[in-house]
Structure 1
Amino acid sequence: MTSTIPTAQPLPEAAPPASPAPSAGPSRLRHSRPDLLLCGGLLTAILLVQGWNITGFPALSDDEGTYLAQAWSVQEGRGLAHYTYWYDHPPLGWLQMALVTWLPAAVSPGLMAVAPMRCAMLLVSAASAVLLYVLARRLGLRPWAAGLAMGLFGLSPLSVVLQREIFLDNIAVMWVLLAFCLAASPRRHLWHHFGAGLAAAVAVLTKETMLVVLPALLVTMWQHSHRATRKFAVTGAVTACGLTGLTYPLFALLNHELVPGPGHVSLWDGITYQMSRPGSGFLLDEGSGAHAALRSWLYYDRVLPLGGLAAAVLLVAAWRWSAAARPPAGPALAVLLLTAMALRPSGYLPAMYVIQALPFLALALAGSVHALSHVVRGEEGSGGRTRRRRVVVGSGVTAAVALAGVLVVPHWYDANRTALTTDANAPYRAAHAWMSDRTHVPDPARTRVLTDDALWLDLVHAGYRPGTGAIWFYKADLDPAVARTLPRGWRDVDYVVASPTVRRDAATLPLVRAALEHSRAVVSFGEGEDRVEIRRIDRRDRDTP
């Protein structure tokens, strides 16, 4: 692995050698050995920290269960989703997930549940971390700076928590990092830029919000393409991205689901829903949902979000530095674009949104330190006054780095220790064990249970009928196909697994709310707001007209 420092003028095209030198391979491997050792050591640490207690923390989320249930549906040949696919997200994300989880599901179908399948996300984390290191080197960062970016990205408590979870954003980040690596290829081959466009399209079809960072990808490609072929490279990348992205509306068109109509879902309705979702409010308004998401991010880590944002602003403002110290403008621009989207008062800001910014925040922070190191080294001058200035500035930077370490390391240690030792999913495991016990539920195949998707697959594996026995609680109110199987509404339900998600969202779901009101808690696992209750519908209420 070699480094290519971006220069102010394009490098001349070199004529290809008549035949490769015999020692070219060993020589390249020898020069890449420090990169391999550093990257391999950091990758080992990242996988160890992210993998330890991965099934216990954080608490299972309904979104994780939904994506995994959709992947299970693909594996079982039931369609693109475990219920009617309604174009809420492009399906490519869980199609990839189905490939990743196919082998463990084939070996042991019982493993196809949310907590164990989090282990599959370690493959995605490993690929993303390595791609980030490669990208940092291709953007001109020295090995120590590339290692700093990789460490910030993989070991920040915010990353440890969010990258463990089965989110489409994590898979999309892997693809967009591949696109940036290809765009910054030192060989400047046209096919690398076409590949960058293709990878970018896959990222967008995995999670559509990745559209936001595509301008930053174009900036990176423009900087690293040869002047003689730049127009062809950019045109080819845009064409590859656009044509690949058009397969999604083409799929809807071929299924006669592009526009609304009677008796079917449509891509247009899905887009309309996403665009009309209630906004989370202004990010800096303390009473808004967006600010609550921001607080949750800063609870785990303040250094990467705030430090990375400040570094991105600095890098974009100081991009006209000397060629040797020129910072990576593309990742810095990506941070600013994602921040601008988060600041929209009318926009919807989910907690996993920050996942898309994590690699660029890490690159911006490492890139700013790398650029500052060139200034400190003072390579343009060698006089005595310059050397004294270097000593003073270098001492100040060293003191600042030491102070940052003293302030950051203890907080990171405490936050990561929570992720490595806390078992937040014991209530879910206990609820699953209770619902799977035939002494409590003698005939699961004839029992109807409202549950969230975090437990849905577990109940299916326990013998409950998928879709109409184990019922994702949202669908009882929102899916007409499910409503037809419940002609008497909540009276046709036997149990409700009242998780925090079910209790929170029942306020807007009449059938689920009525089921909770006409049921009694049989057993409860956990305490407070995090408890999971097994509630049985009262027979007297159910038989009353």
Structure 2
Amino acid sequence: MTSTLPAVTTSTVPAQRQPAPTSGSDGRTSPPSRLRSSRSDLLLCGVLLLAILVVQGWNIADYPTLSDDEGTYLSQAWAVQNGKGLAHYTYWYDHPPLGWLQLAALTWIPSLISPDSMTVGSMRVMMLLVSGISAVLVYVLGRRLSLPRWAAGLGMVLFGLSPLSVVLQREIFLDNLAVMWTLVAFTLAASPSRHLWHHFGAGLAAATAVLTKETMLVVLPALLLTMWRHSHRDTRKFAVTGAITACVLIGCAYPLFALLKGELIPGGGHVSLWDGVKYQMTRPGSGFILDQGSGSHGVYQSWLYYDRVLPLGGLAGAVLLLVTWRWSVTARALAGPALTVAILAALALRPNGYLPAMYVIQALPFLALVLAGGTASVAHAVLRRWRTDGEKRLLTGGRYALAAALAIAAGSYVVPKWYDGAHTAVTTDANAPYRAASKWLSSEVANPKDTRVLVDDALWLDLVHAGYRPGLGVIWFYKADLDPAVTKTMPHGWKDIDYVVASPTVRRDAVDLPNVKAAIQHSKPVATFGTGEDRIEIRQIQTTGTTVGGVR
């Protein structure tokens, strides 16, 4: 929609096209309405983007360790590309499929040029595009929310160069795609030109984010607050109603898809959306995040292992902005991001909620923005000129000297810690055991087409390219117990398997999977790669009087 609804105003310029005020009550100049007209903004954003892409891209295939979730999403994208439906096995209603449909589009050309490159390690490079777009959107959003140029740049640095971000944004997670679309929604909602189509576009982007990863639904109230604050009062109701309508209509596509397939509610012989929702709502919790013996606490500590500055500093920044909302222009401008952090923190603090490791990805850009905004707010309060009846002023030189001292103090704490984290990310090879296991299974097994092997999804595509039959020869280990389409091809259970690749993920989850557990118990290692808990064992199944799976 390109036209705008005329507003009742005495101005000759339509209200929704009027730029934001040129200055706030504190006298600071607001950012330009169009950042592309500012060379300083373009230069700063471009330099920071280059630094982020270099740090995140260096050694991207080797660190961090490949995860089963990454393999699952990429394998589902492979299934879409090869006309095998929405998943490489029976699709069930876990996450909406829009996420890996986007991955299929992102990886289509590389996989077309080099089919064997469709593996987790090599395809991680496509996440650089997502990270780059998200980093630029953080900068643009910061400027649209009236952050000074240096603070918007700080937010971009915090988002893109925090060791926690470097590690998690490298991985092929749906959360990274969903965050990108959420930032698009916030950026459109905060548009200074106030076009109606910007608000409708924000609703469409929000729906896309939710259909990419459904957990983004919880941040929609913060998006609505941002839209309400940045829409013109004369067209606000129409703009917000249009955005909500667009979001709801697009969001309904997923249940409509299930309804048209006859899979909305449970029934004989098919999966259902209701069962998927029920599973998500009733899955076992991982405990209270502050309980040292809980799984949630372990996840929380893993975040702090990589970086304490962004999660803890961002949370403190959100609290500061929410507390000073009445008195601070910056706090009011950043009310949406601060509310987002508060919502996500409240959900993480549920007494017995489920807290996955990638949960923090959804908060990263907003933690960065509120930390940068909180820093800007404090800096302005400390460094601004102040007057008394006697016209006493803090000298300009003293103000900048104090600013420099504060910046040096903060840098002396942050830079060494970030350097250590970044050095690990760009130099460590955490995936050598996976590559070695893939090579062994590709070269040492006599008949890949006639061999059945249980693997986690991080290796699934490697073995498909090595000649194993997808779905029947190389089997995602969960499916050996949970997918009827697979279990019916295993009338003798674990005895119908030749090998099991006991990666850390397989060993951890085998306790709840009878066939996988029995396969491990009735097997012996024929090759081991790595040491300790991170080792990968290739185990050959042992049946009474029978040797299965030939080895060269």
Paired amino acid for 1:209:
T
Counterpart among 481, 496, 503 of residue 485 in structure 2: 481
Q: 1:124-273, aligned counterparts within 5 Å?
A: 124-273=130-279
Residue 104 of structure 2 corresponds to residue 106 of structure 1 = no
Alignment deviations for residues 344-389 of structure 1 (CA, whole Å, 9 cap, x no partner): 1221100000000000000001111222233234357487665239
Call closer, same or farther: CA 1:542–1:263 in 2, change over 3 Å.
farther
Alignment deviations for residues 52-97 of structure 1 (CA, whole Å, 9 cap, x no partner): 0000000000000000000000000100000111100000000000
Call closer, same or farther: CA 1:324–1:282 in 2, change over 3 Å.
closer
Residue 286 of structure 2 corresponds to residue 280 of structure 1 = yes
Which position in structure 1 is the counterpart of 2:95? 89
Which position in structure 2 is the counterpart of 1:23? none
Q: Given that residues 280 and 345 in structure 1 are in contact (C-alpha distance below 8 angstroms), is that contact kept between their aligned partners in structure 2?
A: no
Paired amino acid for 2:536:
V
SS at match of 2:269: coil
Q: Given that residues 62 and 429 in structure 2 are in contact (C-alpha distance below 8 angstroms), is that contact kept between their aligned partners in structure 1?
A: yes
Residue 48 of structure 2 corresponds to residue 50 of structure 1 = no
Which position in structure 2 is the counterpart of 1:319? 325
Paired amino acid for 2:380:
H
Residue 501 of structure 2 corresponds to residue 497 of structure 1 = yes
Q: Offset of 1:492 from its aligned partner? A: 0.7
Q: In structure 1, how many angstroms separate the alpha carbons of the residues matched to 2:468 and 2:170?
A: 28
Q: Given that residues 491 and 543 in structure 1 are in contact (C-alpha distance below 8 angstroms), is that contact kept between their aligned partners in structure 2?
A: no
Q: In structure 2, how many angstroms separate the alpha carbons of the residues matched to 1:385 and 1:301?
A: 44
Q: Offset of 1:402 from its aligned partner? A: 2.2
Counterpart among 475, 498, 501 of residue 471 in structure 1: 475
Q: Given that residues 124 and 172 in structure 2 are in contact (C-alpha distance below 8 angstroms), is that contact kept between their aligned partners in structure 1?
A: yes
Q: Offset of 1:322 from its aligned partner? A: 5.1
Paired amino acid for 1:109:
P
Call closer, same or farther: CA 1:322–1:334 in 2, change over 3 Å.
closer
Q: In structure 2, how many angstroms separate the alpha carbons of the residues matched to 1:479 and 1:29?
A: 51
Residue 444 of structure 2 corresponds to residue 446 of structure 1 = no
Alignment deviations for residues 119-151 of structure 1 (CA, whole Å, 9 cap, x no partner): 000000000001111100100011111100000
Q: 1:279-298, aligned counterparts within 5 Å?
A: 279-298=285-304
Q: 1:393-404, aligned counterparts within 5 Å?
A: 398-404=404-410
Which position in structure 2 is the counterpart of 1:462? 466
Paired amino acid for 1:122:
L
Q: Given that residues 71 and 460 in structure 2 are in contact (C-alpha distance below 8 angstroms), is that contact kept between their aligned partners in structure 1?
A: yes
Which position in structure 1 is the counterpart of 2:30? none
Q: Given that residues 73 and 79 in structure 1 are in contact (C-alpha distance below 8 angstroms), is that contact kept between their aligned partners in structure 2?
A: yes
Q: In structure 2, how many angstroms separate the alpha carbons of the residues matched to 1:358 and 1:384?
A: 46
Counterpart among 512, 518, 527 of residue 516 in structure 2: 512
Which range moves more in the overlay, 312-321 or 368-377?
Answer: 368-377
Q: Given that residues 449 and 494 in structure 1 are in contact (C-alpha distance below 8 angstroms), is that contact kept between their aligned partners in structure 2?
A: yes
Paired amino acid for 1:483:
T
SS at match of 1:521: strand
Call closer, same or farther: CA 1:526–1:379 in 2, change over 3 Å.
same
> Percent identity between the aligned chains?
69
Q: Given that residues 321 and 331 in structure 2 are in contact (C-alpha distance below 8 angstroms), is that contact kept between their aligned partners in structure 1?
A: no
Which position in structure 1 is the counterpart of 2:537? 533
Q: In structure 2, how many angstroms separate the alpha carbons of the residues matched to 1:32 and 1:468?
A: 57
Which position in structure 1 is the counterpart of 2:21? none
Q: In structure 2, how many angstroms separate the alpha carbons of the residues matched to 1:541 and 1:397?
A: 78
SS at match of 1:465: coil
Q: Given that residues 35 and 42 in structure 2 are in contact (C-alpha distance below 8 angstroms), is that contact kept between their aligned partners in structure 1?
A: no
Q: In structure 1, how many angstroms separate the alpha carbons of the residues matched to 2:405 and 2:127?
A: 38
Q: Offset of 1:319 from its aligned partner? A: 1.4
SS at match of 2:478: helix
Q: Which runs of 5+ in 1 are unaligned?
A: 1-9, 18-26
Q: Given that residues 63 and 429 in structure 2 are in contact (C-alpha distance below 8 angstroms), is that contact kept between their aligned partners in structure 1?
A: yes
Call closer, same or farther: CA 1:118–1:30 in 2, change over 3 Å.
closer
Q: Offset of 1:442 from its aligned partner? A: 1.6
Residue 10 of structure 2 corresponds to residue 15 of structure 1 = no
Paired amino acid for 1:45:
A
Q: In structure 1, how many angstroms separate the alpha carbons of the residues matched to 2:392 and 2:271?
A: 69
SS at match of 1:402: helix
Which range moves more in the overlay, 366-375 or 376-385?
Answer: 376-385
Counterpart among 404, 415, 426 of residue 409 in structure 1: 415
Question: TM-score, normalising length from structure 1?
Answer: 0.92
Q: In structure 2, how many angstroms separate the alpha carbons of the residues matched to 1:284 and 1:13?
A: 55
Paired amino acid for 2:537:
E
Paired amino acid for 2:375:
V
Q: In structure 2, how many angstroms separate the alpha carbons of the residues matched to 1:265 and 1:519?
A: 33
Q: In structure 1, how many angstroms separate the alpha carbons of the residues matched to 2:216 and 2:222?
A: 11
Which range moves more in the overlay, 401-410 or 87-96?
Answer: 401-410
Q: In structure 1, how many angstroms separate the alpha carbons of the residues matched to 2:389 and 2:46?
A: 40
Q: In structure 2, how many angstroms separate the alpha carbons of the residues matched to 1:370 and 1:334?
A: 19
Alignment deviations for residues 497-539 of structure 1 (CA, whole Å, 9 cap, x no partner): 1111111111111111111111110010111111111111124
Alignment deviations for residues 378-434 of structure 1 (CA, whole Å, 9 cap, x no partner): 357487665239887876654443222111110100011000000000000000001
Call closer, same or farther: CA 1:13–1:180 in 2, change over 3 Å.
farther
Q: Given that residues 35 and 41 in structure 2 are in contact (C-alpha distance below 8 angstroms), is that contact kept between their aligned partners in structure 1?
A: no
Call closer, same or farther: CA 1:313–1:537 in 2, change over 3 Å.
same
Q: In structure 2, how many angstroms separate the alpha carbons of the residues matched to 1:323 and 1:513?
A: 59
Q: In structure 1, how many angstroms separate the alpha carbons of the residues matched to 2:71 and 2:405?
A: 46
Q: Given that residues 197 and 241 in structure 1 are in contact (C-alpha distance below 8 angstroms), is that contact kept between their aligned partners in structure 2?
A: yes
Q: Offset of 1:307 from its aligned partner? A: 0.4
Q: Given that residues 249 and 267 in structure 1 are in contact (C-alpha distance below 8 angstroms), is that contact kept between their aligned partners in structure 2?
A: yes
SS at match of 1:388: coil
Q: Offset of 1:480 from its aligned partner? A: 1.0
Q: Given that residues 522 and 543 in structure 2 are in contact (C-alpha distance below 8 angstroms), is that contact kept between their aligned partners in structure 1?
A: no
Q: Offset of 1:542 from its aligned partner? A: 5.3
Q: 1:332-481, aligned counterparts within 5 Å?
A: 332-378=338-384, 381=387, 386-388=392-394, 398-437=404-443, 440-481=444-485
Call closer, same or farther: CA 1:419–1:11 in 2, change over 3 Å.
farther
CA RMSD of aligned residues (A): 2.2
Q: Given that residues 149 and 365 in structure 1 are in contact (C-alpha distance below 8 angstroms), is that contact kept between their aligned partners in structure 2?
A: yes
Q: Given that residues 449 and 496 in structure 1 are in contact (C-alpha distance below 8 angstroms), is that contact kept between their aligned partners in structure 2?
A: yes
Q: In structure 2, how many angstroms separate the alpha carbons of the residues matched to 1:79 and 1:252?
A: 14
Q: In structure 2, how many angstroms separate the alpha carbons of the residues matched to 1:519 and 1:390?
A: 75
Q: Offset of 1:179 from its aligned partner? A: 0.1
SS at match of 1:524: strand
SS at match of 1:387: coil
Paired amino acid for 1:427:
P
Q: Given that residues 378 and 390 in structure 1 are in contact (C-alpha distance below 8 angstroms), is that contact kept between their aligned partners in structure 2?
A: no
SS at match of 2:43: helix
